Chains A and B, each alone.
Chain A
Amino acid sequence: MNIENITKKLSESHGWQAKYREIMLFGKQLPELPEALKVGSALVSGCDSKVWLYVDLDESAQQLVLIADSDTRIVKGLLAIIIAAYAGKTPEQASQFSAYTLFESLGLISHLSPSRGNGIRAIVDQIQMQANRLA
């Protein structure tokens, strides 16, 4: 699933129910995180739902690797969008890029509750911090 595809699907779905349906379908395509990795240290704080996030580096390709999961379907779908948005980026590129802005341009921020909106912010901040560390 690439980000162009996601953007296209979202812009083609009209009404919030349709958009959420798409978002949940994106989430379904994300592999489930093994239970053993759903640990407190991987939780992103600042989200209403549970979000586990791992950020690592593919040494040979020098690309960021993101693995994430959530206990809610909608947030898991939002994570799928984030992961697609960062796919193939080097840590340097990732630290320059904000998925938060992408969410704004997809029109998703205004509809998410402040706490969820902030949750996205917390996830993106976490990715950027780790990208900086790996850069």
Chain B
Amino acid sequence: MTDIHSLRDDFPILDKSLNGQPLCYLDSAATAQKPNKVIDVIKTFYQAENSNVHRGLHTLSKNATNRYEAARETIAKFLNVSAKEIVWTSGATESLNFLAHGLSQALNENSKIAISPFEHHANIVPWQEACKRTGAQLLVLPMLENGVLDEAGAISLLQTHKPDILSIGHVSNALGNIHPIESLIKACKTLGTKTVIDGAQSFMHLRPDLVALDCDFYVFSAHKALGPTGVGGLYGRYNLLNTLPVYKTGGEMIQEVTFAHSTYRDAPGKFEPGTPNISGVIGLAAAVDYLNNISPSALQRYERALYQSLLQQLNQIKGVTVYGDTQNNVGIVSFNYKNEHHYDLATLLNTYGVAVRSGHHCAQPLMNMLNVNGTVRASLAFYNNEADVEHFINALKATIELLD
């Protein structure tokens, strides 16, 4: 297993300068940077291996098909599930749309869907649309005043309403909170509630074992886990997954087509019509191979220590308010400074080479509940180091001086 400190060298972009300043990349929650291994695999695919999959008897096509299906095995193993339970999509957003479409077929005016107040719009809007179509009711789990999920309140709300579906983020992209999904899933089991976990922010940081979690569905995006953009997927418990209706239709997914009628293959094939994002899937497998070479506990220890250091230095700056759960967190600080606009802060930080996100982070309902119109969000990954934290803190102090 590798020393975490040396991994930074695998990420070529982290050496770059921006606006005449060394880059301080603290926006991994928006998208993670890519190691050379992933970049090389994609490049080599197009230089030497490009071919369509599941068609053609020629060697290139067979090789591409093997790589593509082996990638499914790689991701399945990473999540501790079986390959036929993994469906490729364009990312977490498409996965959630697919699930909201499929799972809502059985709903009606008496049905209920529960989400948490922390959800990304991608895990709100598809369910809202499902409610519009079916007449089902959308429930929102309660939050404590300090921006943490009210676990006891959430469980009692689930028990009272017995919703058909609970769809909740494993980790909040806006705040970094790790939600106690284990206990929520356990409660849902006894209520017959199907569980959908938005794993966009947990896939890389927490590497969940889906058998242990016992959720019914889990969605992810490759680009938030060192892989390329435009690809991702979902896990579905096979007996549930295979009964979902098809979402997109076309070639490759079918068993037989006549002009009167078509029959479909079994999952996952029936959910993957058309030419897929082959290089993307292979790139994601390379990203997971890369992660497999890092000890998960060492990675989490490293990220946790870096987060504590960042949080502590940030809290020392008078006038800073940090939001969310600072105990259970993947390494995101979401904050404001006095009454300054997050927009001004982020714009000025950028002049020091610091890349952070500002705004509502696609979680407007959460921002409303926190009584802010947005925050500045600095998000860490294992390729960040103490020098990044120092760079950021110094830039923030200089920014504050410019504003005060």
Contact = CB atoms under 8 A, between A and B. Distances in A.
Report if A and B associate in a common complex: yes
Contacts of B403: 24, 73
A17 B341 contact: no
A74 to B, nearest CB: 5
A17 B398 contact: yes
Contact of B402 (A21, A75, A111): A21
Contacts, number: 37
Interface in B327-353: 340-341, 343-344, 347-348, 351-352
B339 to A, nearest CB: 10
B208 interface: no
A103 to B, nearest CB: 15
Given A16-B19, A49-B341, A74 B347 contact: yes
B359 interface: yes
A28 to B, nearest CB: 11
B347 A20 contact: yes
Contacts of A48: 343, 359
A72 interface: yes
Given A16-B351, A17-B348, A49 B402 contact: no
Contact of A49 (B340, B343, B348, B351): B343
A74 B344 contact: yes
A71 interface: yes
Interface string A25-65: 00000000000000000000000110000000000000000
A28 B340 CA distance: 14
A49 B343 CA distance: 7
Contact of A75 (B19, B340, B343, B373): B343
Interface in B369-404: 373, 398, 402-403
Q: Which range contains the number of A residues in contact with the other chain? A: 10 to 19
Given A48-B359, A73-B403, A20 B348 contact: yes
Nearest to A16: B351
A48 B346 CA distance: 12
Interface residues of B, number: 14
A116 B347 CA distance: 10
A71 B341 contact: yes
Contacts of B344: 24, 72-74
Contact of A74 (B19, B343, B352, B359): B343
Contacts of B341: 49, 71-73
A74 B19 CA distance: 18
Given A48-B359, A73-B403, A17 B351 contact: yes
Interface in B29-85: none
A24 to B, nearest CB: 8
Nearest to B19: A16
A39 B403 CA distance: 26
A21 B344 CA distance: 11
A72 B343 CA distance: 7
Contacts of B351: 15-17, 20
Nearest to A50: B373
Contacts of A72: 341, 343-344
A71 B344 CA distance: 10
B343 A17 contact: no
A75 to B, nearest CB: 7
A112 to B, nearest CB: 8
A135 B348 CA distance: 39
A21 B348 CA distance: 10
Interface in B115-136: none
Contacts of B373: 71
A89 B347 CA distance: 31
A73 B400 CA distance: 13
A118 B19 CA distance: 21
B310 to A, nearest CB: 23
With a 10 A CB-CB cut-off, give which of B343, B348, B398 has the most chain A CB atoms: B343
Closest 5 CB pairs of A and B: A16-B351, A72-B341, A72-B343, A73-B344, A49-B343
Given A17-B351, A20-B347, A73-B341, 16 more contacts: A16-B19, A16-B351, A17-B352, A17-B402, A20-B351, A21-B402, A24-B402, A24-B403, A48-B343, A48-B359, A49-B343, A72-B341, A72-B344, A73-B403, A74-B348, A116-B347
15 contacts: A15-B351, A16-B19, A17-B348, A20-B348, A20-B402, A24-B402, A24-B403, A49-B341, A72-B341, A72-B344, A73-B341, A73-B403, A74-B343, A111-B19, A116-B347
Interface of A: 15-17, 20-21, 24, 48-49, 71-75, 111, 113, 116
